[in-house]
């Protein structure tokens, strides 16, 4: 795509980067930016008759998944409800390709994104700790029980925001030129972010932080000791906090252990919690009834009310709180295999990298790519609760590292 206007490209870069702070305010503006920019990118590609960014196998597989989801929606019991989540789902993949394109056109896009993440992470750190110690944040939002939410207010997703974007921040940190002061500053920020995710009370987010960190430490080379040191310091802080905050310790460790039967308890062992257990069993009953194509995207909230499927203390919700279980219920084994294939892709590349390290051969992945893969790993990880697979906010967050990763493996620059 030649003859582009540089100033216009910079403006587009800044608009796309603005998604990072807008994600703190809610899903509407980020989704609006994503949708409009994706449509413009499609129009631009058609106008220039250049579909290079849409010809990769990964994008074509994703597009096939979208087509299948739409076809499943059209045969669901509530077409109008189901089609809303599947008809324009393709925009997520288009947006990832747009990020790839913008990096190719202007490498400063990486710097813009890096500083946007730094500013947002720093703002959440300052406000989050202020809320933790004072009971109220800078905007007047109070603690919800023992949980820190900062600028997210009643939405308890601060930990999710930080943990899911952390691998991308680390990836951009690795490729940026930096002095010693910046390295020390980032090291301190990493420690504070790690602990802040813990005091957010979001168990899944804390698990994702640990999962991505271990993956990164095992597979990178240059800043391996740096990340290991900051992570260990954060873990020591978490242990001290746990010993001095029984309610937080109970939420993050003791409570889940009791629910799952790992420690002696009068409770019946369940998958994560009794509510999660109820959702999963209900969704699995739905899957057994329509195991090939499922009931349709977004249909769990409808079919869970059916007495044929409903099981446990609380069978109904907007989604079953696990991507794989949700896809089994709503898209059947066909939709499930797409996500499972993505998991296999990430694990396969991670194992190849680990094998090369053990055998002291040339590493197929750069440290930058390893961090991006870590971001993908926590997206496709199956053994944890998570949100709605078709949720706009989550999908925007998940699409970001994909665009950077596509550029890293396909671009010759």
What is the percentage of the chain residues whose pLDDT exceeds 90? Answer: 83
Tokens of 159: 């930990």
Q: What is the pLDDT of residues 329-374, one digit of tens each?
A: 999 999 999 999 999 999 999 999 999 999 999 999 999 999 999 9
Q: Which domain holds residue 170?
A: 6-50+89-262+365-410
pLDDT at 8: 63
Kindly state whether residue 59 falls inside one of the protein's structural domains. Answer: no
* Residue 176 belongs to a domain: yes
Computed over every residue of the chain, the mean pLDDT equals 92
Residue 273 has a pLDDT of: 87
Residue 56 inside a domain? The answer is no
Question: Residue 70 domain-assigned?
Answer: no
The pLDDT tens digits for 261-289 are 887 667 778 888 889 999 999 999 999 99
Average pLDDT over residues 118-146: 95
Question: Quick one: average pLDDT of 62-72?
Answer: 96
What's the pLDDT band for 3 if we cut at 50, 70, 90? very low
Give the residue from 375, 26, 369 showing the smallest Cα distance to 166. 375
* pTM of the predicted protein model: 0.93
Average pLDDT over residues 163-185: 95
CA atoms within 13 A on the CB side of 303: 30
Residue 142 — pLDDT band, cuts 50, 70, 90?
very high
Flag whether 345 is in a domain: no
Residue 57 lies in a domain: no
> Looking at the 3D structure of the chain, how many domains does it have?
1
Q: Is residue 269, in this structure, part of any structural domain at all?
A: no
Flag whether 324 is in a domain: no
Which residues, including other chains, have CB under 8 Å from residue 197's CB and lie 6 or more apart? 159, 162, 163, 205, 206, 209
Number of residues that this document lists for the chain: 413
Give Cα separations from 312 to 104, 265, 276, 286 (angstroms).
51, 19, 9, 14
């Amino acid at each position: 795509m030649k003859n582009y206007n540089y100033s216009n490209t910079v403006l587009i870069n800044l608009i796309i980067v603005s998604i990072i702070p807008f994600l703190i305010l809610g899903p509407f503006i980020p989704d609006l930016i994503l949708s409009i920019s994706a449509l413009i990118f499609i129009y631009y590609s058609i106008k220039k008759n250049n579909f290079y960014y849409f010809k990769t196998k990964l994008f074509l597989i994703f597009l096939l998944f979208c087509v299948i989801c739409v076809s499943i929606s059209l045969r669901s019991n509530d077409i109008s409800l189901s089609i809303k989540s599947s008809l324009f789902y393709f925009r997520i993949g288009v947006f990832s390709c747009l990020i790839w394109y913008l990096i190719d056109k202007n490498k400063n896009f990486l710097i813009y994104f890096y500083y946007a993440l730094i500013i947002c992470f720093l703002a959440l750190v300052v406000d989050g700790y202020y809320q933790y110690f004072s009971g109220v944040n800078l905007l007047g939002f109070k603690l919800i029980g023992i949980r820190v939410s900062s600028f997210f207010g009643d939405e308890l997703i601060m930990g999710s925001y930080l943990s899911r974007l952390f691998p991308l921040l680390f990836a951009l940190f690795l490729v940026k030129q930096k002095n010693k002061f910046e390295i020390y500053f980032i090291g301190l920020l990493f420690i504070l972010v790690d602990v802040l995710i813990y005091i957010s009370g979001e168990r899944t987010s804390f698990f994702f932080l640990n999962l991505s960190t271990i993956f990164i430490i095992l597979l990178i080379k240059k800043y391996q000791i740096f990340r290991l040191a900051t992570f260990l310091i954060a873990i020591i802080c978490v242990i001290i906090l746990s010993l001095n905050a029984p309610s937080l310790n109970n939420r993050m460790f003791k409570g889940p252990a009791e629910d799952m039967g790992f420690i002696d308890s009068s409770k019946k062992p369940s998958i994560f919690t009794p509510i999660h257990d109820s959702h999963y069993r209900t969704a699995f009953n739905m899957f057994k009834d329509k195991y090939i194509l499922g009931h349709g995207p977004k249909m769990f909230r409808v079919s869970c009310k059916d007495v044929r499927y409903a099981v446990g203390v609380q069978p109904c919700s907007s989604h079953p709180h696990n991507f794989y279980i949700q896809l089994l219920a709503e898209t059947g084994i066909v939709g499930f295999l797409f996500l499972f294939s993505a998991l296999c892709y990430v694990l396969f590349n991670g194992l190849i990298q680990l094998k090369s390290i053990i055998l002291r051969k040339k590493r197929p992945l750069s440290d930058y790519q390893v961090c991006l893969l870590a971001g993908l790993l926590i997206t496709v990880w199956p053994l944890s609760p998570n949100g709605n697979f078709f949720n706009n906010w989550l999908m925007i967050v998940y699409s970001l590292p994909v665009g950077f990763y596509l550029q890293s493996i396909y671009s010759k620059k």
